[in-house]
Structure 1
Amino acid sequence: MLEVDFTKCFPGFSVTSSFTMNNKILALLGPSGAGKTTVLRCIAGLERPERGYIRNNGITLFSDAEGVFVPPRRRKIGYVVQEYALFPHMNVKKNIFYGVYADDENTGPLYKKLIDTLKIEHLVERDIKHLSGGEKQRVALARALMIRPQMLLLDESFSALDERMRQQLQQELQTLQRLWNIPIIMVTHSLQEAKIMADQIIFVDKENEN
């Protein structure tokens, strides 16, 4: 279970998030600038809240009261940003394996399962610059899952895709969630997408300070 209750402060406003979730799909919904990405970045450890706590499966990732802040690399969280953040000088396979320990003997079966599930086996030797938006999205998902994350965060990951590709990837993501049985948090502007994808919807808005 993921337990979140924190406040992140900025000049003139703050972002507060409080929710619990099991191993399902949760959608963060809200207008641009509301703080949805901030919530993801705090959970991932890329931002540090001023107060509150974040716990996953009973393990404290952040707590101001306890003085705990686990760095991002130790949180075992897969994070896919809107721009995918793939390395253009690497091919697909090298991108997927980025961040995986070389002595991990179980990477072979996992790699095969991911490229089969995401239908990218034919792309593994291709350069990133030769991929479509949908193909880049699949590669980014594979890389995020290759580290065996305990949680997956998706920041507007489908916004640049056409309707057909968006629906296809939504179905694949739901399949992956069932296979991996991990919590997935997705940021979206679309209430329709949230209703289709998510088991739980949280509305996010910033709090202005007077």
Structure 2
Amino acid sequence: MLGLTVLAADVLGRAAGWGALGPGPRTRPHVALTFDDGPSARTLDLMAVLARHSAPATFFVTAPHAAAHPDLMQALAGAGHQLEAHGIWHRPALLLPPWMEWAQLRWHPRAGQPGLLFRPPYGGHSPATRLLACLARRQIALWDVEGRDWLDLSAAELARHTLEQVHPGSVILLHDGPEVTPELLGLILHGLHERGLTPVLLRDLPMQRIPLRAGLGRLQASYGR
């Protein structure tokens, strides 16, 4: 019984994403670029690509990397990018005891400000994730398009796959760290421009709650590959 509860929490929370924040309105020509895991040695390269295209982005940073790179945190904020939380430990929620997950959810680089977002590492959920997020006044922020920049594929191939999945309102997941990501980002931005889609910050998208029907579609996409 416990195993089924744990499995259901991860499948419904991560794969379906029911009740979490996901894509924005499909009626507006906007998309959101998001980067997990930074800041890193790759952050300035990503910022340079974004600046060339006059594109804002949202960075989900981790506590250790934020503490190690205060200069990059300041640079990101100064350039107008949105800073949100990716936690303290980059582990799936199922591998964290409740007290660690509570600390994971409470940390945020913009502590004390309203509308704070949290993106769980790997999107993973434990049975306690949603309750703890509510108590910590955090909103779970997921995505609908993966750049898959952790794969050993060319930037062109990754960009083609990413752009095939993009729709108005999409939230694109990329990572601050892989060597391929700056080139991939440039190709994605070029493709978005050709489609008449404009990158915006997550707070300007804005993200919407993932309803039942969209959750079913996410489940099919997750397990129907």
TM-score with structure 1 length normalisation? 0.32
TM-score normalized by structure 2? Answer: 0.30
